[in-house]
Amino acid sequence: MRSTMQETPLGIATLLRFASTAYSGSKVHTVTADGLRTGTFAEVGARTAQLAHALHDDLGIRGDQRVATFMWNNQEHLETYFAVPSMGAVLHTLNIRLYPDQITYIANHAEDKVVLVDGSLIPLLARVLPGFETVEHVVVVGAGDTAPLEQAGKRIHHYEELLAGKPTSYDWPDFAETDAAAMCYTSGTTGNPKGVVYSHRSIYLHSMQVTMPQSFQLNEANRVLTIVPMFHAMAWGIPYAALMSGASLVMPDRFMQAPALVRAIHDSGADFAGAVPTIWSDLLNHLDATGEKIPTLKRAVVGGSAVPPALMSAFEERYDMRIIHAWGMTETSPLGSVSQPPAGAEGERAWSYRVSQGRFPAGVQARLAGPDGAIVPNDGEAVGELEVRGPWITGAYYRDEDPERFHDGWLRTGDVGTITPDGYLTLTDREKDVIKSGGEWISSVELENHLMAHPAVAEATVVGVPDPRWQERPLAAVVLREGAEATPVELREYLSGLIPKWQLPERWTFLQAVPKTSVGKFDKKEVRRAYAAGDLEVTVL
């Protein structure tokens, strides 16, 4: 039996039309060297139409061609977020922080036809632009010396010149809600980056969810400081969710250092923010050092990596700002779990929920697959790789099937942890860092945390190394504190009171320092490589 409901597609043009009338007075503030510049959602609506006319008439964009951005967070990037999908083309946000080779690979793999670039990012783009094989047009946003771009043989345009005189409305076409709207590449540590293609449907549903009280709870009164870059997992969907809810936006552009962020908060009255943990560490140090306050900022969603609980409590106690821990990835649009404690939980109990990765909304189904691929129970004890399913979760990669990343239609996240019966996720390891020993998993992170709590240990990392009998066994690589002493036997004895006996490492090595990746994480791949190459002096107990 068919329902009688209208078959109205969920679309980004609908969202734009809605926001630019119902919330015509909501603001988008962009930070500049001289303070904020400000537009309204009505202006964003009109300029979005002008941009679409320019892309169509002047740059010849048709159908689902890809329009890339190489931009900070600012009003023009927001206009591009709406113009490109609403006209039926596909927005492709290039991550300016990737290696040049990766950026080139991505632009060519997506077959970008146009790149919009902030004037301040011209030097960075100029290094890679000659390798962009399909790009024909570069649109420069704001002021900047375009000379470095000119050798690449592309046509150069200026954003405001393109928009000038164009009509301020556009007859947005109809298309299927499952059509592509935007794409973003993830950069794994191995292999080429992989493309995730969002649909009108997925972005629309995700925007609704972001505004819901169980997620970010946004409404027209909010002023959202969007620090997470628009080239990173669609800025967590905040730009689209802002137009869905009417929340005003505060865009830091390239002014991402702590003093500039504090000034932006003061100038805009921002009451909500989203950023990765390192931003908050920097901000906390700055506030503590200067004695400045950020009284309007009441809530911040923090994700991208685990948030140190000390950071959460410092902001709460000293700055009356609540950090909300969240988990997601480019493949999940990215809203996954958000650590809102259950209603009624207070004190220590609430805290234990808040430091977890949180709970999923109805739109994201989650389960854990154990070492043998079988689903393990959500009992808060059983450990497995997190698998997720839902209308804003990717089911493939763009022109790169990679079936190993999927399990019966569920996305394998590569994150390992537990889920409680009431649905709270706690992540412990990346799947690739977990030690697979005799059909069971050993958490490297748990071993590391215990070792680093030993008074003689400065740093420690634990990796899985091949073992003929157990497949893998843990190798503990320890850096002792200056002047401290401890033997493998002593350290193993210490661990034996803390973890099951079968998890105790047999292999031990002492290092001068744990090798680190470019972003400061333990470089476990390097430790495994050194072990395999015989470069480490290993004691076997």
CB of residue 68 to a copy of itself, shortest distance in Å: 14
Distance CA 490, CA 62 (A): 68
- Interface map 40-69 toward a copy of itself (x if CB under 8 A): ------------------------x-----
Output b/e per residue, 451-474; b: 16+ Cβ within 10 A: beebebbebbbbbbbebeebebbb
Which one of residues 138, 141, 244, 258 is an interface residue with a copy of itself (CB under 8 A)? Answer: 244
Which one of residues 124, 396, 456, 458 is an interface residue with a copy of itself (CB under 8 A)? Answer: 396
- Per CB under 8 A, 187 contacts a copy of itself: no
Distance CA 359, CA 224 (A): 22
Of 405 and 473, nearer to a copy of itself (C-beta) is 405
Which one of residues 93, 187, 209, 418 is an interface residue with a copy of itself (CB under 8 A)? Answer: 209
Of 133 and 422, nearer to a copy of itself (C-beta) is 422
Segment contacting a copy of itself by CB under 8 A, of 5-13, 130-138, 346-354, 491-499: 5-13
- Per CB under 8 A, 198 contacts a copy of itself: yes
- Per CB under 8 A, 22 contacts a copy of itself: yes
- Per CB under 8 A, 512 contacts a copy of itself: no
Distance CA 211, CA 246 (A): 10
Span 159-178, contacts to a copy of itself by CB under 8 A: 178
Segment contacting a copy of itself by CB under 8 A, of 67-75, 204-212, 300-308, 428-436: 204-212
H/E stretch holding 75: helix 75-86
Which one of residues 411, 434, 462, 491 is an interface residue with a copy of itself (CB under 8 A)? Answer: 411
Residues whose CB falls within 8 Å of the CB of residue 511, separated by 6 or more in sequence, listed in order = 477, 478, 479, 536
User: 226 in helix, strand or coil?
Assistant: strand
Under 8 Å between Cβ of 502 and 443: no
Of 221 and 540, nearer to a copy of itself (C-beta) is 221
- Per CB under 8 A, 214 contacts a copy of itself: yes
- Per CB under 8 A, 179 contacts a copy of itself: yes
**Which residues are designated catalytic?**
186, 331, 436, 441
Which one of residues 189, 290, 365, 487 is an interface residue with a copy of itself (CB under 8 A)? Answer: 365
CB of residue 382 to a copy of itself, shortest distance in Å: 15
Closest Cα to residue 504, out of 437, 415, 423? 437
Segment contacting a copy of itself by CB under 8 A, of 46-54, 218-226, 309-317, 478-486: 218-226
Residues whose CB falls within 8 Å of the CB of residue 76, separated by 6 or more in sequence, listed in order = 116, 118, 141, 142, 159
- Per CB under 8 A, 217 contacts a copy of itself: yes
CB of residue 86 to a copy of itself, shortest distance in Å: 13
Query: CB pairs under 8 A, 24+ apart, for 135-144?
Result: 135/68, 135/107, 136/59, 137/59, 137/113, 138/114, 139/59, 139/114, 139/115, 141/71, 141/74, 141/76, 141/77, 141/116, 141/117, 142/76, 142/118, 143/119, 144/118, 144/119, 144/120
List 480's β-bridge partners, or say none.
457
